[in-house]
Amino acid sequence: MTGNISRGFGSPGKYIQGQNELNNLYKYTDLYGKNVSVIIDGFLFNDIKALLGKIYQDDSNVNYVKFSGECSVREINRFKLESEKFKSNVIVGIGGGKTLDTAKAVSGELSIPVIIVPTAASTDAPTSALTVIYTDEGIHSDFICHKKNPDIVLVDTAIICRAPVRLLVSGMGDALATYFEALANEASDTENYVGEGYRRTMLGMMIAKLCYETLIEKGLHAKIAAENGCCTEAFEDVVEANILLSGLGFENTGCAGAHGIHTGLTELPEANSYFHGEKVAFGTICQLVLENKSPELIDEVMGFCTSVGLPVTLGEMGIEDNDDTIRIIAKHSVKEILSEPFTITEESVFNSIKTANGLGKIYSNKCH
């Protein structure tokens, strides 16, 4: 329970979303100065650099840096030194979560603005004031809470639509947890992730609810649109839900059982080939079982997951569903589930995972 009676809400300075919005990047960087340092995902580097070379009439004012693959202290320091040498006025991060987190960290170190440009709608991290730090070998080591959220989040849905569809679906899995985790945090009166932690605003809770409603109503249509390379309004709405609504939702209301069970799943090497949101989706079902939610609600969530291709069983993530394996997940989940409004034990988490997996098997068999 939070000891703070004040309410807090955090968000990026601006959120802009639309087809070919990256072509307008210069308009936004010009707000902060002429010297721009851009960190770009390695596999996108040549294409993005060529595009930006056409956008900026004089790209001698643009410093292009290829991301190494890990948001590590060494990579942050490398980019920080390059940006200082270039006398950068603004940092731009273009790519996936680790690239964007590195850009946020450098911006924080140098106290200059940052523009975040995600190239997939696979997580809700772009809007947040958080950076997750890894070792050079890719092992999670720490996280940073920045003084502010990104100045601008720029989402080019033409680029998002060309990304693998599985990334969009994974983003739906991450966003699926937002409302249920918000409700758990509200019930337990746990502080959110804004600054040093505040109580939730009404707006934060309404955003989390709208996120869930958008997924249920439009998620399948968005997936089909993406499979056919179409930026429909349903696709645009789900991209907004994955990035903006879920991002504002989790930061302003908090995480709970779904992300805790995700952490437990990461202890299994066989789960490493599955995306964050895919594991969170299964964790959401486990949380609903843990909280004794209605069969109708669990059925709705499972129906959504199976319709878009999110896992509802351990087997669908390549994990053996024996008791020893489930016990490992439960043991490493329980210490992360701090925001539920009742006492959590390893046994209760074990039972929720095993039951959710059993329900998922029945649902999968029924659907096939």
The CATH number for 258's domain is 1.20.1090.10
Domain residue limits at 81: 14-161
Residues 149 and 209 in one domain: no
**Segment 162-183, tens digit of pLDDT:** 999 999 999 999 999 999 999 9
Helix (H, G, I), strand (E, B) or coil at 141: strand
Annotated binding-site residue? 54: no
Phi, psi (5° rounding) for residue 41? -50, 140
Q: Facing residues of 133 across strands? A: 142
Query: For the whole model, what pTM was predicted?
Result: 0.95
337: phi > 0 → left, psi -120 to 50 → alpha, else beta; which?
A: beta
Query: Domain tally for the chain?
Result: 2
Are residues 115 and 172 part of one domain?
no
Asked whether residue 176 falls in the same domain as residue 37, the answer is no
Whether 183 and 154 share a structural domain: no
From the candidates 174, 237, 323, 368, which is the catalytic residue?
A: 174
**Which residues lie below 8 Å from residue 90, measured CB to CB, with a gap of 6+?**
29, 32, 33, 35, 36, 37, 112, 113, 114, 115, 151
User: Which of 156, 237, 262, 332 does the annotation list as catalytic?
Assistant: 262
101 is in an annotated binding site: yes
Is 140 annotated for ligand binding? no
Catalytic hit among 151, 156, 276, 332:
276
Residue where the block lists tokens 């809007």? 127
On the CB side of 220, CA atoms within 13 Å amount to: 9
**Do residues 208 and 352 both lie within one domain?**
yes
CA distance 9 to 329: 33
Section 306-328 average pLDDT: 97
233 vs 68, which has greater pLDDT?
A: 233
Q: Using the predicted structure, report yes or no on whether residue 3 has a pLDDT greater than 80.
A: no
Active site (annotated) includes residue 368: no
Q: Choose the final residue of a domain: 110, 143, 161.
A: 161
**Of all residues in the chain, what percent carry a pLDDT higher than 90?**
86
Considering the domain architecture, whether residues 186 and 151 belong to the same structural domain is answered as: no
Q: Quick one: which of 353, 348, 273 has its CA closest to 312?
A: 353
Measured CA to CA, the distance from residue 39 to residue 45 in angstroms comes to: 9
Q: What is the pLDDT of residue 338?
A: 79
Position 128 scores a pLDDT of 94
Which pLDDT score, from 0 to 100, does residue 57 have?
81
Whether residue 66 is annotated as binding a ligand: the answer is: no
Give per-residue pLDDT as tens, 219-266: 999 999 999 999 999 999 999 999 999 999 999 999 999 999 999 998
Whether 174 sits among the annotated catalytic residues: the reply is yes
